[in-house]
A and B are shown apart, each in its own frame.
Chain A
Amino acid sequence: MPANPSSESNSQLTLRHVTKRFNGRAGLVTAVEDISLQVKEGEFLVLVGPSGCGKSTLLSLLAGLEQVDDGSIKLDGADVVEPGRDRLVMFQQDALFPWLDALENVMFGLRLKPGLTDAERTEAARYYLDLVGLGDKEKARPHELSGGMRQRVALARSLAPNPRVLLMDEPFSALDALTRDQLYGDIQKIFTQRKKTIVLVTHNIREAVCLGDRVVLLSPNPGRVRQVFNIDLPRPRRINDPALATLAADITTALSAHLAEPKEGLV
């Protein structure tokens, strides 16, 4: 299997003073303001916050689907200006193509990756379908799979072209609790095995603590970094682990305290 290219620089993904505004009905709305962050190679970073904190906008910016208005985003020193294979995204809905079967869906990104033979592409696609536990479902169409399975195929599809960074936009929020817990396990297994750099966006604080090496708490209107928490719990972590629950409670407290503050106290 293709090995992860090793990086010399410690900080792989760098955000400097990132600001993004949108034209809303009430005029110009600042979605994220002056966000500076560094994501290390092989780090699992989680952006967490209430709705309106700009976390999904931030992920779109990282994906290159939106452009920053101020500041810069760099991956391995190069500016992020457009979508690219080095930053693949798992969306809230699986976004699988209904006209392709599971294997072909996983092959989609691989086919666009130059320098591989078709046999290598098929082999890689099979490997990743196996990795997410769906080796026996390669001929299944998306509609024949459960929501959890579809999200697993989407995960395999995002991993297969071996991106530098995996971006996840609330990929578990539409799943039932049981499937979600399974996927937390799968993601952690893949994260530890493949040493992938991952940025996850979620509004679920417990999920954030369960998965992240670092949890960045964002505050809304406009989206800013409120506080950063280092999570030092050993992996694999279980969502129902008491230590994890305690940490999650701390972050929740920090968030509520912040939300209760008067708006002027923000700056």
Chain B
Amino acid sequence: MKSPRALVPIVIGLLVLGFWEWYVRSGRVEDFFVPAPTQIGAWFWSALCDGSLASATWVTMRRLMLGFAIGAAIGIPIGALCARSSLARDTIGILSLGLQTLPSVCWVPVAIIAFDPTEAAVVFVVVMGTVWAVVIAVQESVLNVQPLYLRAAQTMGSRGWHLWTHVIFPAALPGIISGLKQGWAFAWRSLMAAEIFVAIIDGFGLGALLNAGRDLHRMDLVMGVMAVVMLVGLLADLIFFSPIERWLRRSRGLER
């Protein structure tokens, strides 16, 4: 029963692509304005063969992983601290909420002034994009841990560090993972902004490639890179976050 359901979006997708191809080829729209799917595909193939796409994707992913890891490493303890102390919640917590609403592209000028257009500037923007969402998610999910679990664990002699690692974090884990997923989405957006605005000579990422496409007036390149950016985001969700979330929910009986 599963194959017909998977077939529907494929068929519809192919129909849309076919119509798009026909529409461009029929000359109703200039192909430097809207390239046909096959033209984008041609760019994609050539970029894949000469290795430029792979290297740009690698540069981008490296920055993303690094910035995301740093952001999570900072955000998780701060979020835990905010959950524990109302003083931290009323100060850092509120600040985090404010900074989370700040579009991360706003950090680009700060990063360039502080770090010059370097690798560090790009990673800084990613960290800023990640950290606040993680702080808030961790704070909320730790605050929402059922007090009954804590009472039960305390009577069995769990205290301090043990209570955190064996009860609070496992109990808050579904919320923390959702927060990381959100942090990842913010990091991805902020990274693209940073790569478009921060021109670094030695690291040519997907954002820089996109910007190069603009300079060259190559719409096939621009749309191709956009498709890759979308694909990477989608894959991170499908391969990494969703399975973890689903496994967590299933193993706790929250989803069948």
A133 contacts partner chain B, Cβ-Cβ < 8 Å: no
Number of residues from A at the complex interface, CB < 8 A: 25
Contacts of B148 in A (CB 8 A): 91, 93, 95
Q: How far is the CA of A48 from the CA of B97 in the complex (A)?
A: 48
Q: Is B154 touching A65 in the complex (CB atoms < 8 A)?
A: yes
Determine which of A64, A65, A87, A95 lies in contact with B149 in the assembled complex, contact meaning CB atoms within 8 Å. Answer: A95
Given contacts A88-B155, A91-B151, contact A144 B171 (CB under 8 A): no
B251 contacts partner chain A, Cβ-Cβ < 8 Å: yes
Contacts of A95 in B (CB 8 A): 148-149, 151-152
Contacts of B157 in A (CB 8 A): 83-85, 109, 112-113, 161
A143 contacts partner chain B, Cβ-Cβ < 8 Å: yes
Residue on A nearest B170 in the bound complex, by CB:
A99
Q: Is B156 touching A161 in the complex (CB atoms < 8 A)?
A: yes
Determine which of B155, B166, B167, B173 lies in contact with A83 in the assembled complex, contact meaning CB atoms within 8 Å. Answer: B155
Given contacts A141-B253, A142-B253, contact A97 B156 (CB under 8 A): no
A210 contacts partner chain B, Cβ-Cβ < 8 Å: no
Report B141-162 CB contacts with A as 1/0, cut-off 8 Å.
0000000110111111110001
B28 contacts partner chain A, Cβ-Cβ < 8 Å: no
Determine which of B153, B155, B167, B253 lies in contact with A63 in the assembled complex, contact meaning CB atoms within 8 Å. Answer: B155
A215 contacts partner chain B, Cβ-Cβ < 8 Å: no
A89 contacts partner chain B, Cβ-Cβ < 8 Å: yes
Report A38-64 CB contacts with B as 1/0, cut-off 8 Å.
000000000000000000000000011
Q: Is B151 touching A99 in the complex (CB atoms < 8 A)?
A: no
Q: How far is the CA of A95 from the CA of B151 in the complex (A)?
A: 9
Report A76-102 CB contacts with B as 1/0, cut-off 8 Å.
000000011101110101010111000
B2 contacts partner chain A, Cβ-Cβ < 8 Å: no
Q: How far is the CA of A143 from the CA of B254 in the complex (A)?
A: 9
Report B240-256 CB contacts with A as 1/0, cut-off 8 Å.
00000000000111100
Determine which of B149, B151, B167, B251 lies in contact with A89 in the assembled complex, contact meaning CB atoms within 8 Å. Answer: B151
A127 contacts partner chain B, Cβ-Cβ < 8 Å: no
Number of residues from B at the complex interface, CB < 8 A: 20
A108 contacts partner chain B, Cβ-Cβ < 8 Å: yes
Q: How far is the CA of A262 from the CA of B254 in the complex (A)?
A: 50
B5 to chain A, nearest CB (A): 28
Given contacts A143-B252, A144-B253, contact A85 B156 (CB under 8 A): yes
Given contacts A88-B156, A108-B156, A112-B157, contact A97 B171 (CB under 8 A): yes
Q: How far is the CA of A144 from the CA of B253 in the complex (A)?
A: 7
Contacts of B171 in A (CB 8 A): 97, 99
A200 to chain B, nearest CB (A): 16
Determine which of B151, B153, B154, B252 lies in contact with A98 in the assembled complex, contact meaning CB atoms within 8 Å. Answer: B252
Residue on A nearest B256 in the bound complex, by CB:
A143
B147 to chain A, nearest CB (A): 10
Residue on A nearest B253 in the bound complex, by CB:
A143
Q: How far is the CA of A142 from the CA of B146 in the complex (A)?
A: 15
Determine which of A83, A143, A161 lies in contact with B154 in the assembled complex, contact meaning CB atoms within 8 Å. Answer: A83
Q: How far is the CA of A65 from the CA of B155 in the complex (A)?
A: 8
A155 to chain B, nearest CB (A): 13
Identify which of residues 136-153 in chain A touch chain B, using a CB-to-CB cut-off of 8 Å: 141-144
Contacts of B158 in A (CB 8 A): 108, 112
Contacts of B149 in A (CB 8 A): 95, 97
Q: How far is the CA of A157 from the CA of B171 in the complex (A)?
A: 18
Contacts of B170 in A (CB 8 A): 97, 99
Q: How far is the CA of A85 from the CA of B154 in the complex (A)?
A: 9
Report B209-228 CB contacts with A as 1/0, cut-off 8 Å.
00000000000000000000
Contacts of A108 in B (CB 8 A): 153, 156, 158, 166
B158 to chain A, nearest CB (A): 6
Residue on A nearest B151 in the bound complex, by CB:
A65
Q: Is A84 touching B155 in the complex (CB atoms < 8 A)?
A: yes
Contacts of B251 in A (CB 8 A): 98-99, 141
Contacts of A87 in B (CB 8 A): 155
A85-B155, A97-B170, A141-B253 are known; give 9 further A-B pairs, CB within 8 A: A65-B155, A87-B155, A89-B151, A99-B173, A109-B157, A141-B251, A143-B253, A144-B253, A161-B156
* Cβ contacts A to B, 12 pairs, < 8 Å: A63-B155, A64-B155, A65-B151, A83-B151, A85-B155, A89-B152, A91-B151, A95-B152, A98-B253, A99-B251, A143-B252, A161-B157
Leading 4 A-B pairs by shortest Cβ distance: A143-B253, A109-B156, A95-B152, A98-B252
